[in-house]
Amino acid sequence: MLADGAVVQPEAKFLLDWLERNRECSGTWPHNFLYERIARILADGRITAEEEKELLDTIAKVAGVPTDEPASEPLESSGMSTAGLPYDDPRQSNS
């Protein structure tokens, strides 16, 4: 979604379905940050331009990608941060 800067209905539905299949994570970040927004956006079965922008901003925040405009709830206000996640420096196994 971030790669092309657009969210199409099947992409958003796929992410919502994945979040629903993995409800054991529902009390943890980023599941709890994403689920409410995506479920609300897809509730009427369509994505408006404003909802698409909100969803892109939200996913960018989760991924730690800078955006031009903040999402409706910045990570800082939610008490969460992507700083220090091992995306670029994963732990090495000793096997």
Domain ranges of the chain: 9-73
Query: What pLDDT sits at residue 43?
Result: 93
Q: What is the DSSP string of 21-68?
A: HTGGGTTSTTHHHHHHHHHHHHTTS---HHHHHHHHHHHHHHHT---S
Q: What is the pLDDT of residue 77?
A: 46
pLDDT at 40 (0 to 100): 92
User: Which pTM does this prediction carry?
Assistant: 0.61
Per-residue pLDDT of the chain (95 residues), as tens digits, is: 777 888 888 999 998 998 899 888 888 888 888 888 999 999 998 899 999 999 999 888 888 877 664 444 444 444 445 555 554 554 544 54
List the one residue out of 75, 68, 3, 92 whose CA is nearest residue 37: 75
